[in-house]
Structure 1
Amino acid sequence: MRADRLLSLLLLLQNRGRMTAPELAAELEVSVRTVYRDVEALGASGIPVHADRGPAGGFRLVDGYRTRLTGLTDVQAGSLFLAGAPGPARDLGLGADLTAAQLKLEAALPAELADRARRIQQRFHLDAPAWFRDADPVPHLAQIAEAVWEQRTLKTHYRRWSGAVHRVLWPLGLVLKGGIWYLVARAAEAEGVAVAVATEVEGEAEGPPAAPGNAEGAVRTYRVGRFLAVDTPGERFERPEGFELAAYWEESARRLEAATRRQTAFVRLSPRARRLLPMWFGAAGVRALATAGPPDAEGWVGVELAVESGSVAVGDLLRLGAEAEVLGPPELRRALADTVAELAGRYR
């Protein structure tokens, strides 16, 4: 581990020139004292590191010195696929490998391309989590990621809406959606642990529902933040032939929306509600606006909006407040009227 850090320090000085001890400490995620010890170690090994004192001082390599130790390890090469998402890379335990890989790649590039890469990094940033929502604590994520990579089974203790369950899983892949980590896995029959057969929906239990058909051994989605305990990865397993993570996720997300938004509401929207609809209803809101007719004299329009059933639809539509009016179906309009009347009585 220290050898990797020393190489990263060397490549930082080679790629960026003079850097102060606090700057190096921030890049390497170590203390300033550790930086001083590492610089001494580089000097003792024959690397010509020069220390400039004073307010504009720092550490730099003697002019003309360049290292050729820029080959990527297999882990560093794999981590480059997460180059646009440093936060998730750290969550997966690949932060140091990603930093080292980027430094090696930068050192191997011609000066013009290396400068262009730095400008892109300075000007574009990916922030995966959604606004106004804290990310799940995921203390077991690195351990789960190791099992995914090594194709090893996991004995898990998982919190569902109906209670905690013990499961043995074949972990097939990890997905980051809106700042939330999900594990895609197949439940396995092991040591008397039964395979779950219930269809579960994200928000109540796990994630997008399993594909229709025989549920035994079905591939399912689990929210990583709901794992209460995960044992050390166990025996190796064989991945299902032909399984593709991206294709599975796209299809399961489609099934989730189809399973939850089964009802169509006919809604009048004010100009302000039209701006809010995509924010509150996402893709369903965008599609609803495409059905809008011409505005009336007050600027209101009618749309067809896919909503969930029962109290969920009532709660979602009430977020629009007085900027919307539900015209149908009649039972949904009555449910909203009853809820509003109850609220009015409570606050009267």
Structure 2
Amino acid sequence: MGMSWSWIKQAEEVGIFSQGGGRILDIGSSNLYSITAADARHFVQRFNGSPQSNLDEFAARMERGSGYDPVRGGLNEAFVGELFEEAGFGYDAVDIADGYKTTIIDFNKEQMPKKMTGAYDVVINCGTTEHILNQLNSFRNIHDAAKVGGYICHQLPAIGFLDHGYFCYTGRFFFDLAGYNDYEIVGFWFDGGVGQESVYSSVNSYSKYFPVLKTVIERGNTEEREKRLSGLGIPTVSINIFYRKKSDKPFMGTVETSTSVGNIPATITKGYETSGSPSEQSDAELMRKFFNEDFYMLNNPAAGDYPAGAIQHFIDVGWKIDADPTPGFSTLGYLEANTDVAETGMNPFLHYIRHGIQEGRGWSKPRDS
């Protein structure tokens, strides 16, 4: 993952960094590319009125470490988090590997930890989610990390990148994502258009593992169709979109129906017309057997105005503020007594119903009670 100085400048022009001192979450600990010492120094001074005394030395190190060659790639000796922190921003990263100020989280399986939920003014995804199989969970985690009024910024592959990751993205996907989640689009552009990649890039890479792919390569040298395809030079193009998160509604996935011929049953469409994803709706049905709505409404009057009802309020909001779903269950006490559950970011009451009862788990009296 990496973030170029030109991209940071464009983000600044859109107004993403207009509030100095905010908190930034980097989805994947990003290296910094192609910044000059002068640009590093000026960026820091724009946002930090009291930079460190050795700012010139810092700026020179950023220039050296961010060197990038179109053929050999980057030196990877400067992190974008260093630049943001020097400019007075708070910075965190999440990744599956160690990196600068990085919390290890597997977006294929894990939810955003509670302490990182709704905590960030800017969430940046520069070339990370295309490497993750679980797209639904990835974009839900990104949504959950952003504050209401905060920005979500994506720079991801659109065309080419044929042996780079798992996915390329379309404008349709990002525009639908904005519509379903009530995001304001504050910036959008394509970038790139260079490169001459082969459609057989990944075939060549994997042919030593799957012998049948060698015959595909051989056909590329003899058969007319394959020769024509192998001669194509595919450019690499990235898609850039910046959202502003307008409300605290829970993340909603998208459903793409443009090629659907028959009628789509209500069992499918219902999950996209109400608050919460289909998986969260099934969670609500499970909780209904245990949830004490009168107790919850008495202690959380704001739930009365929640369009999807009290149970969904607890799923989306309540447990994150340590609200209790019944008189006999302590949300905070369960998390304090079961730190492994707290680390997963899973709803504690749902964990208790699905696993804790069978495992004989209990809860402590909360420390602040």
Instruction: Report TM bin, short chain.
Output: under 0.3
Bigger relative contact order, structure 1 or 2, given CA contacts below 8 A and separation 6+? 2
**CA radius of gyration, larger in:** 1
TM-score by length of 1: 0.24
TM-score by length of 2: 0.23
